[in-house]
Structure 1
Amino acid sequence: MIKLFRKIRQKLLSENKFSKYLLYAVGEIVLVVIGILIALQINNWNEGKKEAESQQKLFANLKIDFENRLSELEEFHASKRQAITNISRINAIISSSHKEFDEDEVGALLAYQLNNFSFNEDFKLLEGVFNTGLINDIKNETLKRKLIEWPQLVEEMLEEQRIFQNDNLTKYGPLLEKYISNRRLYEHFDFRNYALPKGGQITLKENYEGLLKDPLLENLLATKEVHLRISVIDLGNLTNEAKEIIRLLELTHD
């Protein structure tokens, strides 16, 4: 470029037309610069378009993920409310002055409490958004904030889930095993059609009356009810947040 300029300058000086050719040279340089700037702008536009399309795909996938989780949350919310109702019914049977009760009904009510309500903790897509820094590219500040707060809300619910799992494994389950056949219980356990086929042979001598009279049962059910009621509140909050995140993702995606 310098050599070219010197050559032009010498030519202009020799022809005494320096001003005219200097203006021409500057014009050429300006055109080259403008061309470079336009090329850079087009490249930036293409990159921005690709980035926007990638973000739209991310939002679409996040929406599907949250819709699936919302369905699970609503199922657990309804199931835990049913579990609370069932505990009230068991307590009514325990406190009843009548000696007779329906063993099938009691078995079904007790079996329902074996549900750990195991919510899927795996949020790989959302974790990827955090780990890759894509969360910072989300322009909707409300959506960004809610996505950041989501893991903590889930963790609060999972605390109750872990308590349920531990109590069922170490306290509630072992108590029932002393009086009732596990086979019988799991024949009654109808959550998501997980129940065993009915009619299997049972040789264990069952004692429903002894179980209902055991004070430990009433205490364990009281503990379960407390955690269920806390969990129902957490699930309600989590469900509302999931709905709002889905709504914001829909707006962003559109």
Structure 2
Amino acid sequence: MIKFFRKIRQQMLTENKVSKYLVYAIGEIVLVVIGILIALQINNWNESRKSRVVEIELLKTIKTDLDRTLIDLKDDYEYHLESQKYGNRFKRFLLGEKMLEDSIFLHFSYLSQDRHFFPNSVGYESFKTSEMNIISNDTLRLEIAELYELTFPRIKEWDESNPRWDISMALHPYVNKHFIITDQLVENQISYSRYPEYKLILKSLDEIRNDNGLQIDLQETFQIRRRKINLNLTGIERIESVLSDINNELEKLISDN
């Protein structure tokens, strides 16, 4: 092809057709430029397509992480609600309401247990180490970042294992103070279990009901649990919202790709 164009140029110069040669030369330059632009456009299209494939896979990974985190958070939310119910019953017991002896430690055990938040973040960690604009939707990119950098840390802050906000650590000392272990296995325990669990019973009804420190710490754990319930609910709503936007974006990207 190059030899063909060179032959035409030489023929025009030989025939002294300068004006036609100039027109031809300009046309040849235009064709070369157009060819380069087309090649660049094809290259850009290929690169854009590769980026979209990476974006789709990244969003799918983040979606999987959030699906799993949502299941765990909903489970924590329901657990805290149930524990709060046990706490309310135990509080009424301390105020004088009757309760079966076998139920006393059961209620205290449930109200004094806690849950800790561990979000799945494999996709988000990959996102942070890649180019930030790998997620082309600016709004979605910001939503995901806010979820992992603001919402989740707030939930984790109140779920860290420390005396200030850990319900189990706050109430555990009262197990040793007010309950004694028996030689009776807890119901549904397998007799040949390597780690049998034995029943605990109340030492003194009057002592536990007159323990002002327990009353105060119990009230504080109620407030902590209510805070955790509210944070869990906020997290659930935010995850569901972001998941909806991710699903919509994935549908768009897959159809365009």
Question: How high is the TM-score relative to the length of structure 1?
Answer: 0.79
Q: Indicate conservation of the 8 Å contact 1:66/1:246, yes or no.
A: yes
| More moved, 16-25 vs 66-75 | 16-25
Q: Out of 93, 99, 102, which is 2:100 matched to? A: 102
Amino acid corresponding to residue 123 of structure 2 in structure 1: L
Amino acid corresponding to residue 81 of structure 1 in structure 2: L
Q: Indicate conservation of the 8 Å contact 2:77/2:233, yes or no.
A: yes
Instruction: Give the CA deviation at 1:113.
Output: 2.8
Instruction: Give the CA deviation at 1:7.
Output: 10
In 2, Cα distance between equivalents of 1:159 and 1:181: 34
Q: Indicate conservation of the 8 Å contact 1:116/1:165, yes or no.
A: no
Going from structure 1 to structure 2, the CA distance change for 1:187 and 1:53 (only over 3 Å counts) comes to: farther
Q: Out of 208, 214, 218, which is 1:211 matched to? A: 208
Q: Indicate conservation of the 8 Å contact 2:73/2:232, yes or no.
A: yes
Counterpart of 2:229 in structure 1 is 232
Q: Indicate conservation of the 8 Å contact 2:171/2:217, yes or no.
A: yes
Going from structure 1 to structure 2, the CA distance change for 1:38 and 1:164 (only over 3 Å counts) comes to: same
Counterpart of 1:178 in structure 2 is 177
| More moved, 39-48 vs 211-220 | 211-220
Q: Secondary structure at the match of 2:118?
A: coil
- Structure with larger RCO (C-alpha < 8 A, sep 6+): 1
Counterpart of 1:127 in structure 2 is 125
User: What is the CA deviation profile of residues 166-201 of structure 1, one whole-angstrom value per residue up to 9, with x for unaligned ones?
Assistant: 5446531122123335899x969xxxxxxx989545
Amino acid corresponding to residue 175 of structure 1 in structure 2: Y
Question: How high is the TM-score relative to the length of structure 2?
Answer: 0.78
Structure 2: runs of 5 or more not aligned: 188-192, 252-257
Q: Indicate conservation of the 8 Å contact 1:116/1:164, yes or no.
A: no
Amino acid corresponding to residue 83 of structure 1 in structure 2: S
User: What is the CA deviation profile of residues 99-151 of structure 1, one whole-angstrom value per residue up to 9, with x for unaligned ones?
Assistant: xx3232121211113422111145232133133233x3434343223212212
Q: Indicate conservation of the 8 Å contact 2:167/2:221, yes or no.
A: no
Amino acid corresponding to residue 174 of structure 2 in structure 1: L
Structure 1: runs of 5 or more not aligned: 189-195
Going from structure 1 to structure 2, the CA distance change for 1:14 and 1:97 (only over 3 Å counts) comes to: closer
Question: Over the residues paired in the alignment, what is the CA RMSD in angstroms?
Answer: 3.3
Going from structure 1 to structure 2, the CA distance change for 1:113 and 1:32 (only over 3 Å counts) comes to: same
Q: Which runs of 4+ in 1 moved over 6 A?
A: 5-11
Q: Aligned residues: percent identity?
A: 27
Counterpart of 2:39 in structure 1 is 39
Matched, 1:116 2:107: no
Counterpart of 1:80 in structure 2 is 80
Q: Indicate conservation of the 8 Å contact 2:180/2:203, yes or no.
A: no
Q: Which has the higher helix share?
A: 1
In 2, Cα distance between equivalents of 1:205 and 1:89: 17
Going from structure 1 to structure 2, the CA distance change for 1:208 and 1:35 (only over 3 Å counts) comes to: farther
